[in-house]
Amino acid sequence: MEFTVLHHIPGRIRLRSATAFGQETAVFLADALDAVPGVDGVRVNPRTGSVLIMYAGEDPLMRSLSILDGASPLPVEQPLPVPGGGAERPGLFPFFRYLFIRPLMPMAVNVVTAISGAIPFIRRCAASIMHRRLDVEVLDGAAIVVSLLRRDFGTVGLLTLLLGFGDALERYTHKRSLENLASHLALEVDRVWVRRNGEEMLIPCQDMTGGDQVIVRAGTAIPVDGVVEDGTASVNESSMTGEPLGVLRSKGSSVYAGTVVESGEIFVRPTSIGGETRMQQIVRFIENTEKMKAGIQGRFERMADKAVPFTFGLSALVWLFTRDVTRAASVLLVDYSCALRLATPLAILAGMNEGVRRSVMVKGGRFLEALSNVDTVVFDKTGTLTQSRPDVAHVIPAEGQSEEEVLRLSACLEEHFPHPVAKAVVHSAQMRDLHHAEEHAEVEYVVAHGIASHWKGRRVLLGSRHYIAQDEGVDVSPMEAHVRSLSRRGCSLLYLAIDGKVAGIIAMEDPLRPESRALVERLYAMGIRHVLMLTGDDRRTAAAVAEQLGIREFRAQVLPEDKARVIAGLKAQGCTVLMLGDGINDSPALSSADVGVTLQDGADLAREVADVVLMGGTLNDLVTAIALGRGVMRRIRLDFAMTMALNSAFLAGSLFGLLRPGLSAVLHNLTTLGVCLNAMRPALPKGG
3-state secondary structure of 293: coil
User: Which amino acid would we find at residue 411?
Assistant: A
| Short-list 161, 214, 165, 158, CA closest to 187 | 214
Backbone phi and psi for residue 478, each to the nearest 5 degrees, phi listed first: -60, -20
Give the single-character DSSP code of 153. Answer: H
**Beta strand spans in 457-536 (E):** 458-463, 492-498, 501-509, 530-534
State the pairing for strand pair 577-580/595-599: parallel
Question: Can you tell me the distance from the alpha carbon of 297 to that of 167, in angstroms, rounded to the nearest whole number?
Answer: 19
Alpha helices in 91-152 (DSSP H): 93-96, 107-130, 136-149
| 305 assigned to active site | no
> Mapped to the 3 state alphabet, what secondary structure does 172-236 carry?
HHHHHHHHHHHHHHCCCCCEEEEEECCEEEEEEHHHCCCCCEEEEECCCECCCCEEEEEEEEEEE
Output the CA torsion 71→76→82→86 (10° steps).
-160
Length of the chain measured in residues: 688
**Beta strand spans in 471-564 (E):** 492-498, 501-509, 530-534, 553-555
| Pair 323, 141: CB distance under 8 Å | no
DSSP H or E segment with residue 668: helix 661-679
State the pairing for strand pair 260-270/213-217: antiparallel
Question: Can you tell me the distance from the alpha carbon of 71 to that of 65, in angstroms, rounded to the nearest whole number?
Answer: 10
**Residues 6+ positions from 129 with CB-CB distance below 8 Å:** 138
Question: Can you tell me the distance from the alpha carbon of 539 to that of 545, in angstroms, rounded to the nearest whole number?
Answer: 10
Give the single-character DSSP code of 314. Answer: H
Give the single-character DSSP code of 512. Answer: B
Active-site entry in 225, 335, 380, 586: 380
What amino acid positions are annotated as catalytic residues? 380
